[in-house]
Amino acid sequence: MSLEPKNDQEIQDPKSRVRALQSLLVEKGLLSHEAIDAAISAYEHNIGPQNGAKIVARAWVDADFKERLLTDPVSAIGEFNFEMGSQHVQVVENTDKVHNVVVCTLCSCYPWSVLGLPPTWYKSPEYRARTVLEPRSVLREFGLDLDGDIEVKVHDSSADIRYMVLPQRPSGTESLTESELAAIVTRDSMIGVSQIVVT
């Protein structure tokens, strides 16, 4: 089997490259279809932004949990029994006066267990550099234009500490259940490049 692309479209199509690599690894006995399915299932059901959304929703409805989350996030997140590995996550809260945004200027450190796979733009050199230098401009490019009196804090993740934003609970959600609240929380709001808006 050859990994050489058959045409220019395959060179540009990452799905084709992934399928070719997957087939080769299975063919050579280095990976099984079951292992691939297990990894996909883990990211679909056990690892990802749905975990972070559950944490945010709990903080919105349970003041005691929110306090624990902000002061001892490892223990608070541990209450969910998510697989955290060696990641230490620090949670920062958005308020009426402060908006937090997360970046990793060194590489692309990211709390996978609660936010899933990092978006491509998060890993880009442009995002990593510009978010530190001109965070308001970057946020505007994401469609988030903050009032001038709101302080923007940039948090630089590292191998030692990963950040997650606790977004503000949107008004008009007082009647929603915890699971309904979790459904409106977005990955981008937990990175800090968007706010949650309920229409």
Q: Residue 100's domain is classified under what CATH number?
A: 3.90.330.10
Question: Is there a single domain that holds both residue 29 and residue 62?
Answer: no
Question: Is there a single domain that holds both residue 97 and residue 149?
Answer: yes
Position 169 scores a pLDDT of: 98
How large is the angle between the packed helices 63-71 and 49-61, nearest 10 degrees?
120
What is d(CA 160, CA 99) in angstroms, rounded to the nearest whole number?
23
Whether residue 155 is contained in a domain is answered as yes
Predicted TM-score (pTM) of the model is: 0.80
Instruction: Tell me the per-residue pLDDT of 134-154, one tens digit each, with 9 for 90 and over.
Output: 999 999 999 999 999 999 999
Answer with the residue of higher pLDDT: 9 or 20: 20
Answer with the residue of higher pLDDT: 14 or 74: 74
**Tally of domains in the chain:** 2
Position 85 scores a pLDDT of: 66
Active site residues: 104, 107-109
What is d(CA 162, CA 160) in angstroms, rounded to the nearest whole number?
7
Question: Does 4 have pLDDT greater than 60?
Answer: no
Residues in the chain, overall count: 199
What is d(CA 55, CA 149) in angstroms, rounded to the nearest whole number?
28
